[in-house]
Structure 1
């Protein structure tokens, strides 16, 4: 069987957390390339409304990424609508901010369940579907704080570090099977998740569309790790080779040390309520 080029027209893509933000922008970018896209979201009504906006080659479904039955049902429904899944974008995630010692245990569990367990489940389910077909691509949306942790989001950073490790391990396990695994690490992105965050000197915020463009490029030329913007990786490499106390001093000087620890709580109010399950 000839291997399907993953940017060919009629490529089937499933995106978690696809009703808004990076997920929505990624769906839009892939639809422009001729893909057929299923977006899953905990807010199923919004997922269906977003899919209606995006057109007939997009469908929206309810999805609770922490529940195996729900995730499997999402992938099965997407396959029934469009055909076998070629690409899974594990995008769903939450970032409630605050001091770690004051973080309620139930919130810690929620962040881990959504951000990490959801990606673990999705990856397992995707491998089970892709490996027998000897082709596919799993793209995990991590974060710059999956490489450089910052105060104010300790649990979030821990989950994003774990996603990088998961991507590296599964990429190694799947070598030679035809299934690719990649991770994308955006800097601060102009979405609701990034609301109320200050700028970092020398670094710019990015748009969801820029992250979506990076996802498309990663599908076209698979690789392990993609930073958005690319300059973020150069900064990470520099900080990695410096003595820790120097790197921490630079972080404080450019404002990175406090970007998550001192957000505009008013601007983040609505997002924080939703991320914490306070609907």
Structure 2
């Protein structure tokens, strides 16, 4: 297995690479997903060191929690820059390479928030709705043009990482760990499919919610406590993450974000942790 990890926090990426691999099979490279030039350099360096990639995981995302009316324009712009433009920059860089090689698999990490509006994360949910809809459109374009490249959209519920610190439990939908998300991705790499819900019951919840009238959705959210999972999160447990997620303006190389992107050559079939919910 050969994997390249890209992150704006290079020290963290190096530590993760050292934990996961040896003999140069897992490498760490600098990456600012909001910068197209940085993304191009990352992919070029990864392929130079590891060979042609056939799996690319768009894993960028930050999730500040709070009511929309309290959100600053800069805070919203930062989420859009990382959560949306980061994904676009990754896909725009890797898809021409996949197309030229007549194969590859693009994996976009979205969220259950990309299917259901989640109180307390309005802008975040909006960015994840974008990732889901955009991924569907890109896959349709590839199929229409006869390009044999697969696209998968991963929609985890609450994942036990720093990003979801302090979140309340949702009835009927257990929280999951990064390994559960990784298992879902691996299964989609082995047998390609677009939708990957983690846990799987999340897909059932999304389907039920989609056919309910507005009042029914609200009652379901209240019954499962999904309406307060993030809105009433324990803020005392989120201080470090919120500070790191907001510590610099968008499009700055010094900005701190969660793990940005993972790429894997042909042998690689096991991604690292997904930091999002």
User: What pairs with 1:181-196 in structure 2 (closer than 5 Å)?
Assistant: 181-196=151-166
2:43 is matched with: 75
Return 5+ residue gaps in structure 1 as ranges: 1-34
Q: Distance in 1 between matches of 2:117 and 2:5?
A: 29
Normalised to the residue count of structure 2, the TM-score between the two structures is: 0.87
- Aligned-pair Cα RMSD in Å: 1.0
**Offset of residue 116 of structure 1:** 0.5
SS of corresponding position for 2:5: strand
Unaligned runs of 5+ in 2: 249-255, 257-277
Following the alignment from structure 2 to structure 1, what is the Cα–Cα distance between the partners of residues 174 and 87?
Answer: 27
Correspondence 1:123 to 2:123: no
Following TM superposition, the consecutive aligned residue runs of length 4 or more in structure 1 with deviations greater than 3 angstroms are none
**Per-residue deviation, 1:71:** 0.5
Q: Which residue does the alignment assign to 1:49?
A: 15
Secondary structure in 1 matching 2:192: coil
Q: Give the Cα separation in 2 of the matches to 1:152 and 1:273.
A: 17
Q: In the aligned structure 2, how far is the partner of 1:212 from the partner of 1:229? A: 11
Contact kept, 8 Å, 1:45 with 1:62, in 2: the verdict is no
Per the TM alignment, residue 155 of structure 1 is displaced from its structure 2 partner at its CA by 0.6
Match for residue 272 of structure 2? none
Corresponding pairs, count: 245
Q: Which residue does the alignment assign to 1:203?
A: 173
Q: What are the within-5 Å matches in structure 2 for residues 1-279 of structure 1?
A: 35-56=1-22, 57-175=25-143, 176-277=146-247
1:85, 1:173 → 2: CA distance?
Answer: 21
Q: TM-score, normalised by structure 1?
A: 0.86
Question: Per-residue CA shift, 1:148-188, capped at 9, x if unaligned?
Answer: 01111011000000000111011011112111111000000
- Give the Cα separation in 2 of the matches to 1:183 and 1:203: 19
SS in 2 for 1:40: strand
